Structure 1
Amino acid sequence: MEKKYIFFDIDGTLISHTIRDYISESTILALKKLKENGHFISLATGRAVYLTKEIAKKTGVKSLVCEGGHGIIVDGELKSYEPIDMNIAINILKRCDELGLAWAVSISDNEELVTKNERMNQIISNAKFMRKILVKPDYDYSNETCIRRIIIENNEELYNQIEEIKKIGFMHYAGSLFAFIEPDDKYRGIKKLVEMQGGHEDDIIVFGDGINDLKMFENAKTSVAMGNAIDALKEIATHITEDSDSDGIYNACVRLGLID
């Protein structure tokens, strides 16, 4: 079989959708067989670079598309990263200030967040969100050269008044207290990584389960939705497999003729 370029979402796809951080033995075996058969395998995630290291080590996968398609890692080394467009980010934060929405920003590849609003610190603390937050009353985001993601307090009515949010891509809620605004075009990074490897776009296969997988499913020639995937993803997938907890990845790879 010709070499394929296979990309796996992490949460709910590669990792169990019911057991935290659990990867089934059949999934590990599938990854091993795919590599033995000469296929290129990679992860495709919205996670920050630093949050991919443990899963990369656990799976033995050294190439990743991360940061919602804006980061590319090859052989464990970050080869490419594009932050959020600064003009868009600054406009969003200005509108948040005008509307009285508390916010925080991630400016480095770590768990640290920066805000000038004590209320955002309290919101994140109440949510038991495992991030370190620095409150700087005089913080001026216009002096930054890189903003990776924006977190704002939950107020959907006011969100709709910030048009620039749509220009970044993905907004998802963390419980009921706040929301992330971050890139969501994984396929952008997938296409770039395949080109770097000298591959062809027609040989891309993607696996996923959630809303931030929609763009890669819309663009990839072959797409596999997990049994636990959202309906919108299943509707556009070329294949549907079992749940992540029920040998879904292994079975799909067999049915696609990628492994025996």
Structure 2
Amino acid sequence: MDKKYFFFDIDNTLGLSISSIIPADTAYCLRQLRRRGHFVSIATGRLQCDAQHFADRYSIPAVVSDGGNSLSLDGEILEMEGLPLEPCKALLRELDERRLPWAVVTDNTICRYTPYADYPCADPKNYMKTVVRPVAIDSLDAVYKITYARPADEQNEPDRQGLPHLTYLDHTYLVEPTDKGKGILNMLKRVGGRPEDAVVFGDGLNDISMFRKPFFSIAMGNAKAELKERADYITDDNDKGGILHACVKFGWI
């Protein structure tokens, strides 16, 4: 059997919703893929530390995280790059001017820092810890993520500064890197894998960048319609054995 290089999104692909729990049949499938000699990696928008915790829990050796901006292998960080700094600072300044509360992730922890005591953080699915403290925009030397309150009035939308935006919890925007495909290519170079041997699994709009040729792309049954349109194959929902079914169907296990 030819060796394949598998890259799995976490939330709603491997994991049940936004959590660290994966179905038993999925955990079994991951173990079998590794026993058959395949390469197994996460490909997620989550911050490196959070993705690494998930990977360690399920003995997944490789991690493409931060939406493609970070790589780690066997627990060692190989690359970790933040968002472009000056556009981030410009966005934060404008958010202040428009009185739109924001929070920023500036280090490799799940803490986000905000100067706004009323920053929205009520949704229990939000895995980030919100810390209220002063944040000096001009002194920032790294930004990994930004979240900010979506304006009620569309006329109050700020200039996005060319930064990728995703709708997020608590009626906020999430600004984070979204080129998982780039991160996968960089990981393949590190481990000597061929792009045509890569298999990617995903469900959301932030997975679109890895649904590209020559990767073989598999959309979960619960995936967004836009992703399914780009997929080479659509499997079952992630909580109905979708990953196991696809791997059995194509003879990978």
TM-score (norm 1): 0.89
Q: Which residue of 1 aligns with 2:165?
A: 170
Shift of 1:230: 1.1
* Higher helix proportion: 1
Shift of 1:220: 4.8
CA displacement, residues 30-76 of structure 1 (integer Å, 9 cap, x when unaligned) = 11221122111100111112212332122210210011111101111
CA displacement, residues 74-104 of structure 1 (integer Å, 9 cap, x when unaligned) = 1111110110110111111122122222211
CA displacement, residues 103-133 of structure 1 (integer Å, 9 cap, x when unaligned) = 111111113222233333xx23x44655131
Q: Does 1:91 align with 2:90?
A: yes
Q: Which residue of 2 aligns with 1:11?
A: 11
CA displacement, residues 208-245 of structure 1 (integer Å, 9 cap, x when unaligned) = 11111111113453100111111111111000111111
Q: Gaps (5+ residues) in structure 1?
A: none
Distance 1:235 1:113 in 2: 35
Q: Kindly report which structure 2 residues correspond to 1:63-78, keeping only aligned pairs within 5 A, or say none.
A: 63-78=62-77
Q: Which residue of 2 aligns with 1:42?
A: 41
Once the two structures are overlaid, the 10-residue window that deviates more, 213-222 or 140-149, is 213-222
Distance 1:12 1:127 in 2: 17
Q: Which residue of 2 aligns with 1:151?
A: 147
Q: Which residue of 1 aligns with 2:179?
A: 185
- Shift of the 43–29 alpha-carbon distance from structure 1 to 2, 3 Å rule, reads same
- Shift of the 208–127 alpha-carbon distance from structure 1 to 2, 3 Å rule, reads closer
Q: Give the match's secondary structure for 2:83.
A: coil
* Superposed CA RMSD: 1.9
CA displacement, residues 172-201 of structure 1 (integer Å, 9 cap, x when unaligned) = 22132x221111111111110001111111
CA contact (8 A) 1:8 1:208 kept: yes
Q: Does 1:244 align with 2:242?
A: no
Q: Give the match's secondary structure for 2:32.
A: helix
- Shift of the 220–150 alpha-carbon distance from structure 1 to 2, 3 Å rule, reads farther
- Shift of the 168–29 alpha-carbon distance from structure 1 to 2, 3 Å rule, reads same
CA contact (8 A) 2:114 2:130 kept: no
- Shift of the 160–203 alpha-carbon distance from structure 1 to 2, 3 Å rule, reads farther
Distance 1:220 1:77 in 2: 28
Distance 2:201 2:28 in 1: 16
Q: Give the match's secondary structure for 2:239.
A: coil
CA displacement, residues 144-198 of structure 1 (integer Å, 9 cap, x when unaligned) = 110111111121625744131xx2323222132x221111111111110001111
- Shift of the 228–101 alpha-carbon distance from structure 1 to 2, 3 Å rule, reads same
Q: Gaps (5+ residues) in structure 2?
A: none
- Shift of the 104–213 alpha-carbon distance from structure 1 to 2, 3 Å rule, reads same
- Shift of the 79–20 alpha-carbon distance from structure 1 to 2, 3 Å rule, reads closer
Q: Kindly report which structure 2 residues correspond to 1:185-204, keeping only aligned pairs within 5 A, or say none.
A: 185-204=179-198
Q: How many residues align?
A: 250
Q: Give the match's secondary structure for 2:118.
A: helix
Distance 1:118 1:191 in 2: 41
Distance 1:148 1:159 in 2: 24
Q: Does 1:31 align with 2:30?
A: yes
Q: Does 1:142 align with 2:141?
A: no
Q: Give the match's secondary structure for 1:235.
A: helix
